[in-house]
Amino acid sequence: MSLKPLITRTVHYFYYFLFLCYFFIQLFPGRPHVVKLLETLQEWLVSMPLDKIPYDAILDLVNNKMRISGIYLTNHVEWVGCQGSRAQLRGYPCSLWKLFHSLTVQAAAQPNALANTEFEGDALATLKTMRGYIREFFGCRECAQHFEAMAKESMDSVKTADEAVLWLWRKHNLVNKRLAGAPSEDPESPKVEWPTPELCSACHEEINGLHNWNEKEVLVFLKRHYGAQEISLKYADPISDHREAEDGKSDNLHTKEPGGGADAGHNNKPHDQMNVGPGFMNKLLQKPIEQEKPSEQKVGGRMSVSFLGLGFSNIDMSLCVVLYVTSCLFLMIMYFFFRVRSKRWKIRYNRPYV
């Protein structure tokens, strides 16, 4: 939500961000305070006139809302399951893969999580969301185009939630194969077909001397590896939650196994349904992959400054209103005081002539 997004300036992206908040509330196996943050943002943004407020102004308000509520993510980045040997390796792309692997597994494990929405019973729900997120927010445009090409090629063939889990696994292995040996590869975590025999020997088999995947066993492994039961609480103990704002601890995805998934689970409870109309995602996915023009970005930035003034929180605005009202009352009192005094002066010195 806050790391390396494609910076854009159109309201379209905030509507999509609003949808992501709603979707993650239903399936995201994160810490309770992170889910609560998503709930707060989703409920608050629903009431905002997003089509009338500049993008930067909305972004500023979201940051203030997060800070004032006390349930916000820190700016400090400290990867756990995706820590690379160097700062520029693994990190965000790795965590994004793990996040959506976890979401596909959660969707398969909880088929009723998206009940009463346009995604009810849709096996492609999580994959569509990932596709839209990468299209709208992922900073690497070349990567987004590659993923879009893979999605157009075969994503529509997915018919069940289990097939969605396996589809994402296959595409992840294809990406690893394509990027093996590239400068972005971490030498300490080489891009190989996963899971390796050391992690899942039953996932590999040999037929006529050729390697073959036992996808039935792969599915069992993926559901176990990215399932809520494998989420470690080591980096999410309640004592450290309060200190995150001062200590800079981040909300990273990790599991008990090396390179694993998410850090804290929660039971998905019924939430108030956001008004996601029919075809909402389809309309979002029709937008071509492109980057906003610099001129449009600058215009949006100027509009936001003149609209609300960047850096002002709700408390600041409240104080301004109180000072404004107090000043108005003081001026009114002074006006009536001098007016009454002026009338007395006229009565005293303007005596009629006899």
195 cis-preceded (ω within 30 degrees of 0): yes
pLDDT at 253: 40
Residue spans per domain, the chain: 11-307, 313-354
Are 259 and 84 in contact by the 8 Å Cβ rule? The answer is no
Q: What pLDDT sits at residue 336?
A: 86
Cα R_g (the chain), whole angstroms: 27
Count, residues in the chain: 354
Residue 265: what pLDDT? 34
Domain 11-307, CATH number (from 1.20.120.310, 3.40.50.1100, 3.40.50.970, 1.10.10.10): 1.20.120.310
Q: Give the pLDDT of residue 211.
A: 92
Q: Report pTM.
A: 0.62
Instruction: Tell me how many degrees the CA angle 90-263-190 measures, rounded to the nearest 5.
Output: 25
At 345, give phi and psi (nearest 5°). Answer: -65, -40
Kindly give the confidence (pLDDT) of every residue in the chain, 354 residues in length, as a single tens digit, with 9 standing for 90 and above.
Answer: 444 444 444 555 666 666 676 677 778 777 777 777 777 777 776 776 666 666 666 667 666 766 655 655 566 677 888 888 888 889 888 988 998 899 999 899 988 888 877 778 888 988 988 898 888 778 888 999 999 999 999 999 999 999 999 999 999 999 999 999 888 899 999 999 999 999 999 999 999 889 999 999 999 999 999 988 877 756 654 434 444 444 443 344 444 333 333 333 333 333 344 444 445 444 444 554 444 444 333 334 333 333 344 445 566 677 888 888 999 999 999 888 888 877 766 666 555 554
Residue 79 confidence (pLDDT): 80
